[in-house]
Structure 1
């Protein structure tokens, strides 16, 4: 028999030995688990890389963000040049293409064959994706041509009388964008008020009929002056087919909201508009505000009432969208961050 003190020492040593062995076993198990996780991640990465290589080899498609298309079918004299220059200034930095749609004699209506050509070009021209297309073209419904992905439409509208006055003087005096270019009505010194008083054709109420048909589209009824069907169709398209429609008077807010919604294209646009020289590039020369009498005479026409109804409809929709996406703090507007999240996700993942 061993003396009691040696027995106690032996038990202590045995216990220490067991603890040491258990600790080593635990470390080995942790190392094995770590190694298994590392191998699993490596295998997963290998599978993903192999799938990516196979995908590229089988179907060289663009990523979702690079497949985006924006069409800005700009209405004349609504501040479209100022906004378009923002897109040109950002395209290299944000890696997208800008293309101007130049139609013969600035005709906003395309022939049927040109509609087909345009839709095919825009949707299949991979080298020009992502792309920002702009031009004085009426809305074109891509869904009629059985394409898989429709472009994102945006636009800007303006008070109809202010737009007409700006266009009237633009045809006679041009602007500060290309001051040397001779305009169609150059040399005509008659003011807008004089034109209204004499019943001239360039200031007739029918000349107000432009924003409605641009949003209505390529149907013949869209271009029938005073068509109530065209007005309702323009409203429908504005709400259902356009991502955002701004107003000239609040162009900065329009740009800020686009930057928040589509940073792939418009990252940096708000600062560029506020500080860049091109943001206020184009201003109509020699423009004189109309008198109350001229405005009142135009406002008596049914065409003005319809165009103004459409403008106010667009303004209300824009202010509604802005109210749900923008807040004011210390006199400055800021865009709200993401205000939704996901929960109760099933089935549960271990």
Structure 2
């Protein structure tokens, strides 16, 4: 009995020593080591699920129908540099003033994109286009959004005062009401679809319901398009996590995105600060959150839930 116990203990010790040796000598970049961290970064990510992806994304065009005042200029600065290092073309639409083109213009846009070959990253300020209905292969739809009140405040102050990056299309609207008068009196920009600004980018063009203010069905349609058509929607509040997820989901386009972000830290925000900011009162924020932008928040929280689910799937964690 004693001899059996000694042999058992010896076997366990030998197995433990072998496993320890394998752990030490196995190459760090092998599939054996599933968890790794970026140097001094805010996030870590587990690559187990990422390794199951069967495509690097270069088989399709990436279409970024970018929402205004949601960090698109920062993301595009990174994309342009990645286009050189990852060998893909970056195109920006020359039409910067028509978020809601006519039916003929929409089909022209869809047909033009359908005739182009990947790898191509295309961006434009434009509401959702129905590629399926037009019989054109769906691109990799992506976008990035922002907490609704923060986005509204930034946008309102931008069109009224501009930013350090230069003039805006159509000129400044310095005659606009004080931002709190706009909200509390529901006048000017606060009586328009600016209260469902982000939602309109996903509700889309050619859907009459999207123009019906205070109709909750338009938020539902926006969510339907998000779930069925969009590969990914990031959050400006979690920009680094957004870049990490883009590296995982579209490595053929976004490999090295975090490195580009870190290596050009001096470029951040310097040109994008609004020159002046009118501050929303707590009363105005409450009215926006619970009344004027209620549908906008429905869409935002749905996107945020999807974003958090992807973080859990790839075990992206703050540290």
TM-score (norm 1): 0.68
Equivalent pair of 2:67/2:125 in contact (CA under 8 Å)? yes
RMSD of the TM alignment (CA)?
2.4
Cα distance, 1:190 vs structure 2: 5.2
User: In structure 1, what is the equivalent of residue 122 of structure 2?
Assistant: 133
User: 1:66: how far off?
Assistant: 4.9
Aligned twin of 1:334: none
Q: Give the gaps of 5 or more residues in structure 1.
A: 1-62, 332-350
Q: What SS does the aligned partner of 2:79 have?
A: helix
Distance in 1 of aligned mates of 2:200 and 2:168: 28
CA distance 1:107–1:196, change in 2 (3 Å): same
Is residue 325 from structure 1 mapped to residue 314 from structure 2 by the alignment? yes
Q: Which runs of 5+ in 2 are unaligned?
A: 1-54
1:154 is the counterpart of 2:142: yes
d(CA) in 2 for partners of 1:262 and 1:186? 39
Structure-2 separation of matches of 1:64 and 1:291: 46
Whole-Å Cα distance in 1 between the matches of residues 169 and 93 of structure 2? 22
Counterpart of 1:14 in structure 2 is none
Q: Is the 8 A contact 2:107 2:134 kept in 1?
A: yes
Instruction: Please report how far the alpha carbon of residue 206 of structure 1 lies from its aligned counterpart in structure 2 after TM superposition.
Output: 4.6
Aligned length: 262
Q: Distance in 2 between matches of 1:199 and 1:233?
A: 25
Q: Which has a greater percent of helix?
A: 1
The correspondence for 1:286, drawn from 276, 286, 290, is 276
Query: Is the aligned partner of 1:230 residue 2:230?
Result: no
More displaced, 316-325 or 116-125? 116-125
Query: How is 1:20-31 mapped onto 2 (pairs within 5 angstroms)?
Result: none
1:202 and 2:193 matched: no
Deviation of the 1:287 alpha carbon: 1.9
Greater RCO between the two (CA within 8 Å, min separation 6)? 2
Report which of the two structures shows the higher radius of gyration computed on alpha carbons: 1
Q: CA deviation at 1:286?
A: 1.1
Identify the residue that residue 255 of structure 2 maps to in structure 1. 267
Residues 197 and 113 of structure 1, relative CA distance in 2, 3 Å threshold: closer
Q: Distance in 2 between matches of 1:140 and 1:206?
A: 18
Structure 1 position 138, deviation (Å): 0.8
The match for 1:192 is 179
